[in-house]
């Protein structure tokens, strides 16, 4: 059985290109692997806590090997609980729209809450930083409104801070096996939008079949 975690990063439930492609991938994957257990984290429905003074005190007490007070223990336990679905999953699917050349602030908020030593990575002087989410696979469905090709006015090397950031974060927490599904030009007219969605949907279906053939 595959445990699939879908991290839903767009608040736009209707006409969301990233969500459409992610759902298509998940549907195709489940057709190949009917016993797949799917869990969804809708970041817009989660009650994400603030990374406040108490949480930061807990973080630095952990780093220093110092005991945590009661409030700090509760704050740290909350962060651990938010990260637990990531640990439990075999396959992560992220549906991510591009906002102002980067990722939605809710996703950044979530990443800041869970990316701590002892939660998603470890560190020691001998081995350095080690991600704790090894032996997992991630599929990211990226949606962009504009054209990010090299000949466009917004070429990816200069304007794309969405995909490189997510790839760096996934590598940092131990997920080296990554796959990308990209739908672009969604605001350049309905025909261009539909063609881009269709191409990404076909890629999603092919990738789902490829990954479903593997054993988790």
Q: What are the DSSP calls for 53-94, one per residue?
A: HHHHHHHHHHHHTPPP-HHHHHHHHHHHHHHHHHHH-SEEEE
d(CA 8, CA 97): 10
Q: What are the DSSP calls for 29-56, one per residue?
A: HHHH-TT-EEEEEETTTS-PPP--HHHH
d(CA 175, CA 166): 11
What is residue 126's predicted lDDT score, i.e. its pLDDT?
87
Helix axes 53-64, 70-88, angle to 10 degrees: 80
Residues shown for the chain: 216
Distances (CA, A) of 64 to 18, 20, 83, 125, 189: 40, 44, 21, 14, 55
φ and ψ at residue 113, rounded to 5 degrees: -75, -35
Q: What is the pLDDT of residues 132-189, one digit of tens each?
A: 999 999 999 999 999 999 999 999 999 999 999 999 999 999 999 999 999 999 999 9
Q: Give the single-character DSSP code of 172.
A: H
d(CA 26, CA 187): 25
Could you state, in chain order, the average pLDDT of each consecutive group of 10 residues for the chain (216 residues)?
Answer: 97 93 98 97 96 96 92 97 98 98 98 97 90 97 95 93 98 98 95 96 97 82
Asked if 133 contacts 87 with a C-beta cutoff of 8 angstroms, the reply is yes
Distances (CA, A) of 83 to 5, 90, 112, 121, 187: 12, 14, 11, 11, 34
d(CA 183, CA 195): 9
What is residue 13's predicted lDDT score, i.e. its pLDDT?
85
pTM: 0.94
Domain regions of the chain by residue span:
3-212
Superfamily of domain 3-212: Flavodoxin domain (3.40.50.360)
């Amino acid at each position: 059985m595959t445990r699939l975690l879908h991290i839903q990063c767009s608040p736009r439930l209707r006409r969301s290109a990233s969500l459409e492609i992610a759902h298509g991938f998940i549907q195709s994957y489940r057709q190949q692997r009917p016993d797949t257990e799917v869990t969804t984290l809708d970041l817009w429905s989660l009650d994400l806590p603030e990374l406040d003074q108490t949480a930061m005190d807990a973080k630095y007490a952990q780093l220093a090997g110092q005991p945590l007070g009661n409030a700090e223990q509760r704050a740290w336990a909350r962060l651990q609980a938010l990260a637990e679905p990531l640990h439990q999953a075999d396959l992560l699917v992220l549906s991510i729209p591009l906002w102002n050349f980067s990722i939605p602030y809710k996703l950044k908020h979530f990443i800041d809450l869970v990316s701590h030593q002892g939660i998603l990575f470890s560190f020691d002087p001998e081995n350095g930083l080690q991600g704790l989410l090894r032996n997992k696979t991630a599929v990211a469905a990226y949606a962009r409104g504009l054209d990010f090709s090299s000949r466009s006015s917004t070429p990816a090397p200069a304007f794309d801070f969405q995909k490189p950031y997510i790839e760096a974060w996934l590598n940092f927490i131990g997920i080296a096996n990554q796959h990308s599904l990209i739908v672009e030009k969604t605001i350049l007219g309905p025909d261009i939008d539909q063609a881009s969605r269709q191409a990404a949907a076909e890629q999603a279906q092919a990738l789902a079949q490829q990954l479903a053939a593997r054993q988790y």
